[in-house]
Amino acid sequence: MLRVAVLVSGGGTNLQAIIDAVENGTITNTQIVGVISNNKNAFALERAGRHGIPAQCISPKDFETRDEFNRVFLDKVNELNVDLIVLAGFLVVIPEMMIREYRNRIINIHPSLIPSFCGTGFYGLKVHEAALERGVKVVGATVHFVDEGTDTGPIILQKAVSVEEGDTPEILQRRVMEQAEWKILPQAIDLIANGKVQIVDGKVSIAQ
Ligand code: GRF
């Protein structure tokens, strides 16, 4: 059974997609054992509560230094005794010591087809604003392993979504969430939970 912690900062629609997928059997061999947010007002915490998933809040703002936060944050994650950490809209930089300790056991969902529209400053609506500004015809989402860079780890799954006439950043964001994010993040967790994901020479290979 894959023990999973989900880290969130906002509305939690990706968390909800994971919860629903575990409950309806789309994700097998997996238990969400905890949700952690840096934002005490995140609706994602409400979503966890409704499904009986232990949820807690920890924010860098509550600590004198980032190092102190990083240590307590890592301790809290370690207490959950998880096999996989899922970043689902988590807006806090993951401490390098956590990345080292959970090498290739942290995944993230990014709302673009990496390497487009990613890296520092590309998050949430900003990603979709940049895509519309550039005039691309296809966007999408990416699930990738987290390494020391920003959106630079090995890519696990991607799914393309069309840009349509009249799209606003909000409309495009919603379509990418509905048609891509909420599908490939649960799919990636199920593949990992069933031992189908390997990293070979820095690239992901998925067993059929
Ligand atoms: C999503 O757009 C996701 O791609 C990005 O942050 C947002 C989180 O949304 N990483 P939610 O909190 O899952 O609704």
pLDDT at 184: 98
Q: Is the pLDDT of residue 208 over 90?
A: no
Q: How far is the CA of 9 from the centre of ligand 1 (A)?
A: 8
Q: Is the pLDDT of residue 205 over 90?
A: yes
Q: What is the pTM for the complete model shown?
A: 0.97
Catalytic residue among 51, 110, 128, 144: 110
Confidence of residue 112 (pLDDT cuts 50, 70, 90): very high
For 92-111, the pLDDT digits (tens) are 999 999 999 999 999 999 99
State the average pLDDT for the chain.
Answer: 98
**Beta pairing partners, 195:** none
- Minimum-distance ligand 1 atom for the alpha carbon of 181: 4
- Minimum-distance ligand 1 atom for the alpha carbon of 42: 12
Task: Give the C-alpha separation, 135 to 8, whole Å.
Answer: 30
pLDDT at 82: 98
Mutation choice for ligand 1 from 18, 37, 91, 109, CB with most ligand atoms inside 8 A: 109
Q: How far is the CA of 11 from the centre of ligand 1 (A)?
A: 7
Check if 110 is active-site.
Answer: yes
Q: How far is the CA of 202 from the centre of ligand 1 (A)?
A: 26
Kind plus residue range of the DSSP H or E element containing 161: strand 155-162
**Residue range 74-87: mean pLDDT, rounded:** 98
Burial 127-165 (b: 16+ CB within 10 A, else e): bbbbbbeeeeeebbbbbbbbbeebbebbbbbbbebebee
pLDDT at 175: 98
CATH assignment at residue 122: 3.40.50.170
For 163-196, the pLDDT digits (tens) are 999 999 999 999 999 999 999 999 999 999 999 9
The residue whose C-alpha atom lies closest to atom 3 belonging to ligand 1 is 89
pLDDT over 70, % of the chain? 100
pLDDT at 168: 98
Range of the domain at 24: 2-206
Task: Give the C-alpha separation, 103 to 32, whole Å.
Answer: 19
Confidence of residue 135 (pLDDT cuts 50, 70, 90): very high
pLDDT at 56: 98
For 20-64, the pLDDT digits (tens) are 999 999 999 999 999 999 999 999 999 999 999 999 999 999 999
Q: How many structural domains are present in the chain? A: 1
